[in-house]
Amino acid sequence: MKKVEDYVVSIPDFPEPGIIFRDVTSVLQDADGLKLAIDKIQEKLEGLDFDVIAGTESRGFIFGMPIAYNLHKPFILVRKKGKLPRETVSVEYELEYGSAVIEMHKDSVKPGQKVVLIDDLIATGGTIEAAAKLVESLGGEVVRMVFLMELAGLKGRERLAGYDVDSVICYEGK
């Protein structure tokens, strides 16, 4: 039986020499790979008490939405600045070169709600940390962060030390 990592295409020296790019689109392009990836992420939520799933733009939508549907939970969009039509809360965070802003609707999380954050990849952890700050600014509690892939060499898990972090696949390098 194949594992999720069997569907991930690894591309050496992209985007620069010494980096191995882990391509999630190869998982999405295979029906068995996609189903397995969603099932494995969903397994990371078994026995967890939570109210809402949130996903970060855009691959967090791809993996989080079907899990929300399967578990009959609401799904919250965490988007880039300027993409949501109603009143929002936002947070700016640092990228490797510069900064970015993400937002969510102000009414998307109610005080006391337990929230799971889902994304395809944890690298440095900056985006998901910013998403957690948004949830917390609205009075929600982040009870778990789940990723399909983790690049352990970039130390995102260390940055998120105060959170319950899990991943399906963990690559040791960058």
Active site residues: 59, 96
Cα distance from N-terminal residue to C-terminal residue, the chain: 27
The radius of gyration of the chain from alpha carbons, rounded to an integer in Å, stands at: 16
d(CA 170, CA 174): 11
d(CA 148, CA 127): 15
d(CA 59, CA 106): 22
- Give me the half-sphere count of Cα atoms (radius 13 Å) on the Cβ side of residue 122: 28
d(CA 154, CA 170): 11
